[in-house]
């Protein structure tokens, strides 16, 4: 697990889709970094936004709130949002919060981009 408030986020384009890959724990100190990166990506008007969560091993309720806010904004902007490659830990957290049925979840980035 990481220490410190930094969260590395790799931002990529795949065609007209934006793919964000946060690397590290998404907690109270770091979720604002993810929120800003998602907001910036939305401003570029992609056809689709994919969050690759393969490198996130921990997420707290502030991280979940960031995802829910992103989903609401994606619906307002008519930009589909997909989550992919969730680690077992993060998937279990989404399930307990009953958010696994709210988001479009995919096993891999390729599947998310092809959907």
Taking the C-alpha atoms of residue 52 and residue 108, their distance in angstroms, rounded to an integer, is: 8
* Binding status of residue 92 toward other proteins by CB under 8 A: yes
* Binding status of residue 76 toward other proteins by CB under 8 A: no
Sheet holding 8-14, edge to edge: 8-14, 17-23, 48-52, 81-84, 104-106
48-52 vs 17-23, strand pairing mode = parallel
* Binding status of residue 55 toward other proteins by CB under 8 A: no
* Binding status of residue 4 toward other proteins by CB under 8 A: yes
Q: In the complex with other proteins, which residue's Cβ is closer, 17 or 22?
A: 22
Q: Contact residues for other proteins (CB under 8 A)?
A: 1-5, 25, 27-29, 58, 60-62, 64-66, 68-69, 72, 88-89, 92-93, 96-99, 102
């Amino acid at each position: 697990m990481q220490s410190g408030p930094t969260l590395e986020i790799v931002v990529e384009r795949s065609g007209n889709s934006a793919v964000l890959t946060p690397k590290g724990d998404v907690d109270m100190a770091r979720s604002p970094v993810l929120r800003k990166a998602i907001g910036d990506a939305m401003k570029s008007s992609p056809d689709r936004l994919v969050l690759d969560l393969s490198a996130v091993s921990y997420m707290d309720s502030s991280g979940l709130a960031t995802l829910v806010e992103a989903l609401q904004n994606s619906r307002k902007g008519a930009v589909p949002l997909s989550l992919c490659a969730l680690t077992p830990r993060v998937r279990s957290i989404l399930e307990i919060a009953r958010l696994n049925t709210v988001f479009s979840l995919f096993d891999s980035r390729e599947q998310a981009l092809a959907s």
